[in-house]
Structure 1
Amino acid sequence: MHIHTHYDNLQVPYTATDAEIRQAYRRLSRKYHPDLNPDPDAHRIMQLINRAYDVLSDPRKRAEHDFWIEAQRRRRMQEELGIPTTLPHAKRRNPPAHYSSSQHYAADGSASNPQKLVLIGLIIISLILLGLVAWQGTSWFTKSKEPQLVSTQVIINPDDKQPVDVHAMNAETANTPPATSYVRPTHAPNGSPLPTESGYVSNYAQITGSGNSAINVENIRNTSDVFAQLYEKQSGQLMRTFFIEERNEFLLKDLDSGEYFVRYHQLDTGEYFDSESVTVSPTHTATIYLQRSNAPQP
């Protein structure tokens, strides 16, 4: 009866908040990203994790996925109870005008007994489904509070239904050393200590505008901590200097309207990259994504 969904692949309950979904994505990415996990199945598992995050982090896609789950549950319940998934239209003779045309009537104008039974059956099925959803949500909420692997059995892509057995992978990679010997630097180029978590770096000018625009710098797709600086594109003015942990994000507030980009230093490899530029308007929050796919700067 269980339907494998994107919630299963991301190990979150159906009631998960946006913050819980991001936290689960970061945790699973650290374990199964191909840059960090040498197992050949890691790439496929990471694709499933990325697909699940793409759907569940988008309100529209998540709503469509929830509708698909409910439709699948209803169809399977009807099949198990022997109830047809589509109801035939019975012949009607002069139904009373105050009844809906979607109801079925016997020859005397009253609803036929088979139709009543079907309606009662559908009501019972709806109550059962509501109980299952409540029970499933409670179960997953309890499990989400404990550290878990991506799956204790298999991961299934809801799009292609192809399972990946991760029992052996978990056993083989449990004692695997990290893929790199990266050690986070303790100081910024100006000698100031880097923050212990994402935040501004001391002893750098942090220019605050008079506007109320903001930029969310997202490092969730990156596998490295970064030392980053925000620039105003037209003038080349350095606006902010900050540090972001891998699989994390940082919000730059109180900016004036304008076009900005981020130049960032991958602390694990020493490479420098420029992000794409974004334009912010008053009361608007834009997002800049940091990842290795950008072309390195000289």
Structure 2
Amino acid sequence: MPSLPHRRRVSFVYAEEYRGAGTTVMRGEQLAAIARQSVPHSTIDFAPLSRSFRGRHLFLTKGVLKTATAEDFTQWRARGNRILIDPVDEDIPEVALHFADVIVAASRSAAADYRDRFPGTQVAVLDHHVDPRVAPIVSGAARPSLGRVGYFGEPENAFRSGRIDRRVEFIPVDTSRQSPEWLERLPHYSAHYAVRQSRDLDDHKPFLKGFTAAACEAVIIVDRAQQEPHHWLPADYPYWVDSSVDDGSVTETLDRVRRDFGSRTWKRAAESMRLMASQTSRQQIGNQLRALFS
């Protein structure tokens, strides 16, 4: 690992063609803003891909890992940079793995997998933060009076049926560009839907839907087939979809959520969500960033 100056110089690096992508904004621009407030004795920027960096911590966003060449990595290494790679939910390109000083894990399941597969490389957990625009929208907003359920995300990622669509309001979120209109709708839902339609390209999805629901003081409906939620929710959390994910098991859980609204069971679920919110707060992400760049 290169020897770096005492004063930390950190660049969160993005690829221009992915500048507007949600993962670039959140795991690049927004993380850089959190780091400026959390990492002492540092100079931190959000910078486009370049070979000219020298003597820095380079936090390479997912878009950079898709576009950087072996020559880019060779030049960064020759100029004494410490290379941190953030694949988020995709596999790691071979060239990035060869040069990485640190693999950043955006989920606990990813961290465990990376440590097993790449024992010779440092792995650091940096949990996925909630979009900082959520808090001011939710704060002070009137709370919904019944168990209204919303899904926020790309529609093709959700498990759906005709009966489910009658119980859940689907609000599309295009993660390839910035479309913040969906944020304004967050306060209207007391439960968020996160039952996934598995796809071959999925790999270590962070539990961002759960973290966002927690920040909105909503409960989450999620299936046990997903790995990551088990690191955040207790086994007796009441709104797991317990059996095989199908129309019947999902609609039964959705109906139970609506019946339970305001009940003791609902309050027990809400307590689990409050704990999750505290574990993924801006302060906690700041602590992880300090450790990452120490």
Shorter-chain TM band: under 0.3
Compute the TM-score of the two structures, normalised by the length of structure 2.
Answer: 0.27
**TM-score, normalised by the number of residues in structure 1:** 0.27
Q: Which is richer in helix?
A: 2
- Name the larger-Rg structure: 1
Q: Relative contact order (alpha carbons < 8 A, sep ≥ 6): 1 or 2 greater? A: 2
